[in-house]
Structure 1
Amino acid sequence: MKTEAHRTGQRGDETEPTRQRILLAARKEFAAFGLAGARIDRIARDASASKERLYAYYRKKEELFSAVLELNLLEFAHAVEPGDDAGLPEFAGALYDHQVQFPEHLRMIDWARLEGEEMVAPSIEIVEEFHSEQARRIVAMQSAGAVDPAWDPEHLSALIFGLVTCWLHEPSSALVPHAVPAAAAISARRASVVRAVQRLIEPSP
């Protein structure tokens, strides 16, 4: 997945500054309000562009939403791409760091799930390729004896993502408006994620 798009976070036809400003403004708007609540006039204003200019790039709001979702997924896939020697606990730690730094990426995924297949379809290939790579890595680790071979690689990958993102959907955390955990809490949660994955993958005696 080491394409130019992954290195820059841009699609090949999205290098024009005005288009980039529109995408960045739309990323903020959609993460906060979703597709239905987002306002094109706010996006255009925040991007210092006219609505006419915005519609010249993206014919409808759904098209712009899909472009932002795809950009987020490309950036995510590149940011957490593990090194050859990285184990699953270290990978989980990198995932946790990324979702703390960019919570809007997961919010966009949640909004896309609510909006339905039209929003997800343009980006599903990115997701499938990313998960296929993770499954291949898990199989290799199982063959090397570093991961319990009883796990289905797809299931283990999903469980790791669930552990990493659990606080975003855990009610006592998710339903507190504008709650920002302290640095010590973030560090403790990260350590718990890494420890949980370590225990999860330990081969049975």
Structure 2
Amino acid sequence: MEPDHSPAVSSTKEPEPTRQRILEAARTEFAAHGLAGARIDRIARNASASKERLYAYYRHKAELFSAVLELNLGEFAEAMAGAGGTLPEFAGALYDHSVAHPEHLRMIDWARLERQDVVDPSWALMDRFHAEQLRGIVSLQRAGAVDSSWDPEHVAALIFGIVTCWNHEPAEALATPPVVDAGTIAHRRATVVRAVERLMVPGAP
């Protein structure tokens, strides 16, 4: 790990865009290399900032990783808020987001490999998002739009599993280069929507 440069003190003379450039450069670096493989000097160089300025904002590499993870989670929650009035529509919107922002999923995968005491973002935002999602599922079940025999927690997990299945299926995950053509993406999106519909919507064909 990078050395701890505490205490972190942000300079009032440094414009906020510098912090944003650091976060964006770190987002690219961490998504590609994870926490262990990322290099602070490369992040600073790509952000057009000095290592000293970076450490003035973030005391060590794990803190910067957590900040990027929290930024990604916030963008995800904002993008998905109110997405789709039905579970199949939500799954389609979620798939669209995963295609548009593959770095979000990669960061979650990297975070899963790290110890909890190393990666410690604020989970309050995602806790609120998850609670709202569960409330929506329960509401759909009460309205008869989703099979009420499903545990809402399981419904939420299954939707994410269906949407991200190609990211973790071995042959696909290790493919080089990854699939990017529009036709395949559209076909997979349709499969996601149909799978969620048939699995959870009563009377779906």
> 122-131 or 161-170, which moves further after superposition?
122-131
Q: Is this contact kept in 2: 1:22–1:43, CA < 8 A?
A: yes
Cα distance change, pair 145–182 in 1 and its aligned pair in 2 (3 A): same
* TM-score normalized by the length of structure 2: 0.88
In 1: Cα distance, 2:66 partner to 2:105 partner: 14
CA distance in 2, matches of 1:48, 1:24: 11
CA distance in 1, matches of 2:25, 2:136: 36
Q: Name the one with the larger helix percent.
A: 1
Report the counterpart of residue 141 of structure 1 in structure 2. Answer: 140
Higher Cα Rg: structure 1 or 2? 2
Task: Indicate conservation of the 8 Å contact 2:65/2:119, yes or no.
Answer: no
Count of residues in correspondence between the two structures: 190
- Give 1:21's aligned residue: 21
> Is contact 2:35–2:61 with CA below 8 Å preserved after alignment?
yes
Give, in whole Å, the separation in 1 of the partners of 2:195 and 2:27: 32
Q: Structure 2: 5+ residue runs without aligned partners?
A: 1-14
Task: Specify the alignment match of 2:67 in structure 1.
Answer: 67
Query: Any stretches of 5+ residues in structure 1 without a counterpart?
Result: 1-14
**Residue number in structure 2 paired with 1:86:** 85
CA distance in 1, matches of 2:55, 2:177: 32
Which residue does 2:114 correspond to in 1?
115
Q: Is the 8 A contact 1:148 1:204 kept in 2?
A: no
- Between 96-105 and 173-182, the greater mean CA deviation after superposition: 173-182
Quick check: 1:76 aligned with 2:79?
A: no
Q: Write the deviation string for residues 99-158 of structure 1: whole angstroms up to 9, x where unpaired.
A: 001101000000001012135532322222211111000000011111100010000000
Write the letter of the residue equivalent to 1:56: A
Deviation at 1:173, TM superposition (A): 0.7
Q: Would you say 1:182 and 2:181 are equivalent positions?
A: yes
2: CA distance between counterparts of 1:106 and 1:62?
Answer: 18
Aligned partners of 1:66 and 1:122 also within 8 Å: yes
Deviations 1:34-86 (A, max 9, x none): 00000000000000000000000001000000000000000000111125x61
Aligned to 1:153: 152
Paired with 1:51 and 1:141, the residues of 2 have a C-alpha distance of 50
Matched residue type, 2:170: P
Q: Which amino acid aligns with 1:38?
A: A
What do you get for the CA RMSD once the two structures are aligned?
Answer: 1.6
Give the letter aligned to residue 26 of structure 2: A
Counterpart contact for 1:112–1:119, Cα < 8 Å: no
Runs of 4+ in 1 over 3 A off after TM superposition: none
Cα gap change, 1:94 to 1:120, in 2 (>3 Å): farther
What amino acid is the match of 1:145?
A: G
TM-score, normalised relative to structure 1: 0.88
Please name the residue that 1:162 is paired with. Answer: 161
Map 1:24-63 onto structure 2 (within 5 A): 24-63=24-63
**Secondary structure of 2:123's partner?**
helix
Identity of aligned residues (%): 68
